[in-house]
Amino acid sequence: MVKIGIIGGTGVYDPEMLDGISEEQVNTDYGNIKVMVGEYKGVRAAFLPRHGADHAVPPHKVNYRGNIMALKKLGVERVVATGAVGSLNLEMIPGEVVLVDQFIDFTKNRIQTFYDTPGNGVVHIDMTEPYCNDLRKLVAAAAEAVAVPVKGKGTYICTEGPRFETPAEIKMYSALGGEVVGMTSVPEVVLAREAEMCYCTLAMVTNFAAGISPNLLTHAEVLEAMEKNHANLKKLIMKTIETMPGERNCRCGQALGELGSLGQGK
């Protein structure tokens, strides 16, 4: 059984932190998903590059349902995801990891539920605490242990992409309480909740957002920043795996309540 899943975002494409890696092809109703499975200090974990091994899939085309369902079918209970973000908060600086605790959704064309077909029921999932507090605390403790700079909370603005945002949009997002902006946390976090997984995003600040940064934004700049901070993300993920308890004590595993768990055979 593989209980820990790692979703690698921009700049995090390979499972080099794991030993004894094997490739699993997981068949789901949303397509066949390739997942790498290995171990770190005797703990089995699954690694899934969100955008593909060569970053060929843009954020608005990611198979979010297939990815989450593949991890679910492997038995994953906890997901640690990485993602590059721009900062709207001058106190969240490039090179820091933000353990976001809330999101505001500005995506437009993404399916956000497993429950959208006739006979599959209707689910209105609670998102009061979208990112697992227990998992966030565990990651924060791991970050302190390996001296990786983190902010313990923040509000993630999720945009459709793949374009960057305008300064006017960033001004609006900031007025609404947004602190970092990215393109991938939604619907991933929502689907993870429907799958009754604990989910945490390591939002790596790569730059200040449009209108705040004095420079034009480029994807090359984001990749360069992620490469520079890849070692810190790797250390943080490895320490998190090492210190993760065997059992969960949060409510994520009962997110569907009286509707019952999402079936492994979905």
Is 4-259 assigned to CATH 3.40.50.1580?
A: yes
Using DSSP, state whether 137 is helix, strand or coil.
helix
As given in the structure block, the two tokens for residue 243 are 């210190």
- CA pair distance 72, 171, nearest whole angstrom: 38
- Side chain identity at residue 120, one-letter code: N
The CB-side HSE value for 140 (13 A sphere, CA atoms) comes to 13
Which residue ranges make up each domain of the chain?
4-259
Residues 6+ apart with CB under 8 A from 119: none
pLDDT the model gives residue 11: 61
pLDDT the model gives residue 259: 52
pLDDT the model gives residue 13: 63
pLDDT the model gives residue 223: 77
C-alpha Rg value of the chain to the nearest Å: 17
Element (H, E) at 104: strand 102-106
What residues in the chain have per-residue pLDDT under 70? 11, 13-14, 258-266
pTM: 0.91
In terms of Cα–Cα distance, which of 240, 246, 163, 161 is closest to 202?
Answer: 240
- CA pair distance 16, 25, nearest whole angstrom: 19
Question: 10 Å Cβ neighbour count for 149?
Answer: 13
What confidence tens digit (pLDDT) does each residue in 94-148 have? 999 999 999 999 999 999 999 988 777 788 999 999 999 999 999 999 999 999 9
- CA pair distance 226, 44, nearest whole angstrom: 25
What confidence tens digit (pLDDT) does each residue in 245-265 have? 989 999 999 999 845 444 433
- CA pair distance 184, 82, nearest whole angstrom: 10
pLDDT the model gives residue 264: 37
The CB-side HSE value for 60 (13 A sphere, CA atoms) comes to 10
pLDDT the model gives residue 39: 92
pLDDT the model gives residue 266: 39
